[in-house]
Amino acid sequence: MRSITRTLLAVLWAVALLAGGYALVLRLTEGHGPAAYGSYVVWGLGVAQYIYFVGISAGAFMLATLVYGLGVKKLEPVGRPALLVAAVGLVAGLFSIWTDLGHMGRAFLVLLRPNFSSMMTWMIWLYTAYAILLVLLGYAVHKKSPRIKLLALIGLPLVVSFSGGVGALFATVAAKPLWNSSLYPVFFLVGALLSASGLLIALLALQARQTPAIADAVSTLSKLILGLLVVEVVLEWAEYSVALWGGGGEHAALSEVLFGSYWWVFWGVHLVLGVAVPGAMLLLAKGNKTWQAVSGLLVVLTYLAVRLNIVIPGQITPELKGLEMSYVDPRLVYTYSPSLFEWGILLFCAAVASSLLWLGYRFLPLNSDSASHKEAKIA
Amino acid sequence: MEQANLVPIPKLPPAGAGESMIHRMLEELRRALGKPVAERRWGMVIDLRKCVGCQACTIACITENKLPPGVVYRPVITEERGTFPNVSKSFLPRPCMQCEDPTCVPVCPVGATAKRPDGIVAVDYESCIGCRYCMTACPYNARTFDFGDNRDEGGEIQPSDKVSSREYGRVWKREKDSSPIGNARKCTFCLHRLERGELPACVSCCMGRATYFGDLNDSTSLVSQLAAKANATRLKESAGTGPVVFYLQ
């Protein structure tokens, strides 16, 4: 990486950390006061970033299980970075949702007095099991233990459960017609795999030391991303077209997504920058590392727009007609735009996550698999 | 947490003109209190033909429960129909429906929200983690989040914001980082008043006598009789939550 690019990235990181740190101090001293969500749109950017980060974590773990559980040799260089991304994504996701709680100090109650009729409880318990498994698998991979395959195969249903489970957390809310869809768990699985593949292709393509094994893995990831982009669009088409044609309760919310004041988030950020541009770049890249990296970054960064378009529009339709006019207060409205404070929390999480990734790349032996793969090829 | 130090219940004076319904409901309430909690089933009936949309119930609720800005338990929805000169207005007060099968209860990850034996859906403020999942699950939007906002003017916290709430029969001092700030909050049918033999604030203050309250398990009670009328309806019956708030159309 050129020194000017490195300096620019360092400056961006420092700004994100400082601004985000200030937002975190505000969260600890002022509670939820500076947040823009209210009592009708109750989940905002914090929840969107939570499902974004845990989605990346789940997707990365799925890719790791392809390597360690199912023995997909072509993706071998992805294995160790995927485990790192899975761990970092989980930390960032759980931190995001922790700061979103009204009482951060009571989060442990989900473990001490769980109510298993709640999807949220299941999620926390699955995350705990997943975190333990992630540490064990990471250690096993590092030590080249014979238990690697077993741990990865145990992890596969676990990660599918919690990734689909996040979708179910929304889908089981019958009061919100937009969320109450049986497609959501599948949608979340595909989204997890897509966003994680985007980040991993960027990380691999930007790696200073390139090998034929890495080039192979990048090429495989490219094909995987292209396929997932198609599946993602098909799922969206299925979800949106049925709702729009059928005219059910979700019609108003979807109309807002497609034609409302934030139409550009769906059409511009998601479909153009997140699907069309990276899709075209991957098709035309022909091994060009920069194009592959940029397309991966576009896929993963713009995926936050998909998450926002799930969380927010689901809540913008009044449960009872006229409720929004019955009592006038800034917290009792069906509109929402994240406040600077909320963007600050996101910046903090992004800065910490990128620091952890950098530290991982700096101090962890992430290239061992590719090295052994290369040796194996030569042999 | 200190217990609410409340004044003794006054003896009922003789009924004045137009007050007999209040007296009847009070007597029925006190009769219900003589039964074990599990044998009571509190319910409410709102006669929409009598509601004039004065919002006195909204204000009485805020005053009684010391609700901060942004927290409202009983808004009154106004609906206008038609165009001039053929215009009509109707009003719909919306307390918590205290559903028989509430959707807010199973989603709580720590079981902080639960249905009491008498049917009231209560929130354990000291367990609630503030995840707001219950708020997304309520088909009536009957819960609001306490953001810790105050009615400050020029940075000064107003005396009204320092008054403690007596919800659930306890004293809740309004202090940073302590409940109910950071919690989901909702109408409790003024549980703290019921337990000392008083009607919910919204019932007592209703100038049109449009709101009725009592024990639905008592077939002779006023609410039981009104809830059984042919013109009694419930909001969003299709949601299958079984509200115990009935509306007379």
- Torsions phi, psi of A95, nearest 5? -65, -40
Helix (H) or strand (E) holding A17: helix A3-30
Q: Which residues of B touch A32 (CB under 8 A)?
A: 130, 145, 147-148, 182
Q: By mean pLDDT, which of A76-85, A105-114, A255-264, B146-155 is the weakest?
A: B146-155
More confident residue, A286 or B167: B167
SS3 B214: strand
pLDDT at residue B162, as a whole number: 83
In this structure, is residue A46 part of a structural domain? yes
pLDDT for residue A10 is more than 50? yes
pLDDT at residue A174, as a whole number: 92
**Contact by Cβ (8 Å): B58, B74:** yes
Domain count, chain A: 1
Distance to chain B for A146, nearest Cα, Å: 38
Distance to chain A for B27, nearest Cα, Å: 33
Q: Which residues of A touch B127 (CB under 8 A)?
A: 106, 109, 113
In this structure, is residue A3 part of a structural domain? no
ipTM, 2 dp: 0.91
- Give me the domains of chain B, ranges plus CATH numbers: 20-248 (3.30.70.20)
Question: For residue B179, which amino acid is it?
Answer: S
CATH code: domain of residue A145? 1.20.1630.10
More confident residue, A366 or A290: A290
Residue with token string 């219900």:
B32
Distance to chain B for A268, nearest Cα, Å: 28
Cα–Cα distance, A97 to A164 (Å, whole number): 18
Nearest to A118 among B94, B108, B127 (CB): B108
Distance to chain A for B89, nearest Cα, Å: 12
Cα–Cα distance, A58 to A70 (Å, whole number): 16
How would residue A287 be classed by pLDDT, with cut points 50, 70 and 90?
A: confident
In this structure, is residue A16 part of a structural domain? no
pLDDT for residue A242 is more than 90? no
How would residue B10 be classed by pLDDT, with cut points 50, 70 and 90?
A: low
pLDDT by residue (tens digit) across B172-210?
Answer: 998 888 899 999 999 999 999 999 999 999 999 999 899
pLDDT by residue (tens digit) across B206-236?
Answer: 998 999 999 999 999 999 999 999 999 999 9
Q: Return the structure tokens found at B2.
A: 């200190």
pLDDT for residue A191 is more than 80? yes
What percent of chain B shows pLDDT beyond 90? Answer: 79
pLDDT by residue (tens digit) across B103-139?
Answer: 999 999 999 999 999 999 999 999 999 999 999 999 9
How would residue A377 be classed by pLDDT, with cut points 50, 70 and 90?
A: very low
Domain with A50, as residue range(s), is 38-378
pLDDT at residue A43, as a whole number: 97
Nearest to B145 among A42, A124, A319 (CB): A42
Q: Which residues of A touch B132 (CB under 8 A)?
A: 42-43, 102
pLDDT at residue A135, as a whole number: 95
Tell me which residue of A144, A169, A285, A139 sits closest to A219, measured CA to CA.
Answer: A285
pLDDT at residue A355, as a whole number: 95
Residue A333 exposed, middle or buried by CB count within 10 Å (0-12, 13-18, 19+) = middle
Say if A209 is an interface residue toward chain B (CB within 8 Å): no
Which of residues 51 through 80 in chain B touch A, CB cutoff 8 A? 58, 69-72, 75-79
What percent of chain B shows pLDDT beyond 70? Answer: 91
More confident residue, A32 or B6: A32
- Torsions phi, psi of B42, nearest 5? -65, 140
pLDDT for residue B52 is more than 70? yes
pLDDT for residue B165 is more than 80? yes
**Contact by Cβ (8 Å): A111, A128:** yes
Q: By mean pLDDT, which of A288-292, B19-23, B97-101 is the weakest?
A: B19-23
In this structure, is residue A74 part of a structural domain? yes
Cβ-based neighbours of A214, under 8 Å, separated by 6 or more: A77, A204, A207, A370
Average pLDDT of the segment spanning A137-144: 92
Residue B236 exposed, middle or buried by CB count within 10 Å (0-12, 13-18, 19+) = middle
pLDDT at residue A250, as a whole number: 84
More confident residue, A242 or B54: B54
pLDDT for residue B16 is more than 80? no
In this structure, is residue A6 part of a structural domain? no
In this structure, is residue A326 part of a structural domain? yes
In this structure, is residue A133 part of a structural domain? yes
Average pLDDT of the segment spanning A276-291: 92
SS3 B144: strand
How would residue A80 be classed by pLDDT, with cut points 50, 70 and 90?
A: very high
In this structure, is residue A360 part of a structural domain? yes
pLDDT for residue A137 is more than 60? yes
Nearest to B145 among A102, A113, A322 (CB): A102
Nearest CA in chain A to B143: A39
Residue A260 exposed, middle or buried by CB count within 10 Å (0-12, 13-18, 19+) = middle
Instruction: Give the end-to-end CA distance of chain A in Å, rounded to a whole number.
Output: 32
Q: Which residues pair with A63 in a beta bridge?
A: none
Q: Which residues pair with B91 in a beta bridge?
A: B78
Task: Kindly determine whether residue B103 and residue A175, on different chains, have CB atoms separated by under 8 Å.
Answer: yes
pLDDT at residue B175, as a whole number: 85
Distance to chain B for A237, nearest Cα, Å: 25
How would residue A375 be classed by pLDDT, with cut points 50, 70 and 90?
A: very low
Nearest to B138 among A103, A175, A331 (CB): A175
